[in-house]
Structure 1
Amino acid sequence: MSEPLPLLHRTVRPEWIDYNGHMSEAFYVLVFGHATDAMMIETGLHGGYRESTGCSLYTVEAHVRYLNDVSEGAHLAIRTRLLGVDAKKARFTHEMFVVEDEDEGAEPAPDAAPVATTELLALHVDQNAGRTTPFPDDIRDRLTGLVEAAPDWAGRSIAEVPRTA
């Protein structure tokens, strides 16, 4: 495995707070989207790649878990893990943690629990052709080198709720 991807850091803005006084669900997804963008940059799928090839990652499935409230001004660190890669797709997760320090190097405490997680499936798409296309070898190799074991929560489905009459 290669060096893990760097953590993404964000601070919760006042406009991200909802009527319940904590971060709105849409902004968890926004921050996770920023983490996907950062992962793409780190693995060679950056703007220059998109411009020169016409290819990009398209998210086709996502499962978000909101585990704890996040307040205005909280400092977030998002960890990204690649779980699997094949010729045309990648499966990965983001885990969001609240950290004490807004420093870009701030790490979650070793025993810290995430406040939210997401698991994503993305396809490598040739935007000009309108269909999937294989990753170039160097990018697939970089992604494959980052693959690690899935956290225990990955791969779950949404729990069934019994119907009531």
Structure 2
Amino acid sequence: MSEPLPVSLPLLHRTVRPEWIDYNGHMSEAFYVLVFGYATDAMMIETGLHAGYRESTGCSLYTVEAHVRYLNDVSEGARLAIRTRMLGADAKKARFTHEMYVVESEGDESAPDAAPVATTEILALHVDQNAGRTTPFPDEIRDRLTDLVETPPEWAGRSISAVVKAPWRASPL
């Protein structure tokens, strides 16, 4: 008999490297996305969409939309914990979030209590790379994804809504 699967995904841990620091002295925006990419890879491994699956089926998960929120600066050497929440899955797509936290200890597996320093919400499609189009998840993977579905955090599903004046537009005469 196999071991029961966890009811949530494990935290991913990373430490901010010197080359991730930009000219402003904090983690550059590209590296937030890199760390979120590592978290997506970890989620794929946990749900059965790992390298062996990709090699045997020719299928993978493709990100088609992402909304990143940069909420606080992150310094060199900071220990990060990334929490992944599955928000929904159907035949061919998955919606999930990653929340990035600065933590005291890299090995701490409990959910961080502090506010996240960044978040992302992702919509991904299950793609048959040989056919070049979406394809349904195998039942066991779709079931695993749906078993992991959690209540969305309050910020999920929002769009960019700040009204910005466009000074480059000519004023009407």
The TM-score, its normalising length taken from structure 1, stands at 0.95
Matched, 1:89 2:93: yes
The percent identity for this pair of structures is 82
Give matches, 1:50-65, under 5 Å.
Answer: 50-65=54-69
Tell me, yes or no, if the aligned pair for 1:99 and 1:108 is still in contact at 8 Å.
Answer: no
Superposition pairs of residues 1-165 of structure 1, within 5 angstroms? 3-103=7-107, 105-110=108-113, 112-165=114-167
Residue 39 of structure 2 aligns with an amino acid whose one-letter code is: A
* Cα drift, residue 161 of structure 1: 2.1
Q: What SS is found at the alignment partner of 1:120? A: strand
Q: Which runs of 5+ in 2 are unaligned?
A: 168-173
Q: Kindly provide the CA deviation profile for residues 10-37 of structure 1, in whole angstroms up to 9, marking residues without a partner as x.
A: 0000000000000000000000000000
Q: Which region of structure 1 is more displaced relative to structure 2, 154-163 or 4-13?
A: 154-163
State the 1:136 CA deviation: 0.1
Secondary structure at the aligned position of 2:19 is classed as helix
What secondary structure is seen at the aligned counterpart in 1 of 2:131? Answer: coil
| Separation in 2, partners of 1:40, 1:161 | 36
Tell whether the 8 Å contact from 1:2 to 1:145 is kept in structure 2 after alignment.
Answer: no
Whole-Å Cα distance in 1 between the matches of residues 111 and 74 of structure 2?
Answer: 15
1:39 and 1:11 map into 2 onto residues whose CA distance is 19
Give the structure 1 partner of residue 171 of structure 2. Answer: none
Matched residues, number: 163
